[in-house]
Amino acid sequence: MLVVKYPSYKVVILDKLDYCSSLKNVSRALRLCGGDRVKFVKGGIRSFDLVLHVLNTERIDTVMHFAAQSHVDNSFNNSFEFTKTNIEGTHVLLEACRLAQNAIRRFLHVSTDEVYGESALGELNNDSNTEHATLLAPTNPYAASKAGAGLLVMAYGRSYNLPFIITRGNNIYGPNQYPEKAIPNFTILAKLGKKYLFTETDWRAVVRARRRRGGRV
């Protein structure tokens, strides 16, 4: 937990409490640290006035941008919401950071490896297949919205000298994760004694990835 590991930090959480979130997930931090070091603000990142108000009143110097519509299956039937939250919401955050009274020292944008699209199995043997050599090629509305958001972050870095970091990891997992995601879903299925698909090809890829010194699988 961030506030436990770094006792000098003050954390302000901005979340609109969508269907997949709960205030109970941050209750332990609120209970341990109280209002002095952890504060929760209910609201969405598409509200420019709210975001700018929080940045100014709380004197924020680092933004960790996790907020996103992220369930791929939902993006096929409700793609506009992904564009609004992931692209417009990111743009609102960036513009608010640009206009904030307190200088933003770092903007951390959490993206996804899905912005690279699908990789052929034969690419596993391609040593040049590293992140910097891979083009963005999203194949679904969710991935496209995250790719667009990432490009906005890079543009603000170039145009306004906003210090930023973009992470493009695989499945993020942890306590209290909503069960629509792969790992908690498989865990629940296993506890219930239900079957799930296991493919030998994926296992070979995992073994090969473990032996690689670098690159991407």
Q: Which helix (H) or strand (E) holds 106?
A: strand 106-110
Q: How many whole angstroms separate alpha carbon 50 and alpha carbon 175?
A: 29
Q: How many whole angstroms separate alpha carbon 174 and alpha carbon 12?
A: 20
9 catalytically annotated: no
Q: How many whole angstroms separate alpha carbon 73 and alpha carbon 15?
A: 22
Sheet holding 164-167, edge to edge: 62-65, 106-110, 164-167
Q: How many whole angstroms separate alpha carbon 183 and alpha carbon 188?
A: 9
Q: How many whole angstroms separate alpha carbon 217 and alpha carbon 212?
A: 9
Residues 15, 116, 142, 156: which is the catalytic one?
142
Residues 15, 114, 116, 156: which is the catalytic one?
114
**SS3 at position 45:** coil
Residues 113, 123, 178, 180: which is the catalytic one?
113
114 catalytically annotated: yes
Partnered with residue 167 across adjacent β-strands are 110
36 catalytically annotated: no
In angstroms, the Cα distances linking 91 to 18, 34, 161, 195 are: 20, 31, 15, 42
CB 42, CB 22: distance < 8 Å: no
Q: Which residue has the tokens 């209002």?
A: 35
Catalytic residues: 113-114, 142
